Amino acid sequence: MSDQIAKLTAALAESERKRVAEQQSMSETVQQIKEQVMNLAGRPTTSAPDDTDNESDEDDYVDLTP
């Protein structure tokens, strides 16, 4: 009986060790994603050039092809 308890205790300890390692890995991944998002958020965005041709906006779009 005590051999069985020892095996179950060892299995429980190993399971807990794996869970903690997986949680640590997930935390690192989440931190990397947060850093990437912050880097993207800090980049300046480019805007479309000003429409200075003084013509209607219809020529600014491509018609659908049949």
* pLDDT the model gives residue 6: 96
Give the global pTM: 0.52
CB 51 within 8 A of CB 60: yes
More confident residue, 62 or 42: 42
Query: Given 3-state DSSP classes, what are the helix, strand and coil percentages for the chain, each rounded to the nearest 5?
Result: 70, 0, 30
User: Average pLDDT for residues 44-60, to the nearest whole number?
Assistant: 64
C-alpha 62/C-alpha 59 separation (Å) is 7
* pLDDT the model gives residue 44: 72
Tens of pLDDT, residues 8-24: 999 999 999 999 999 99
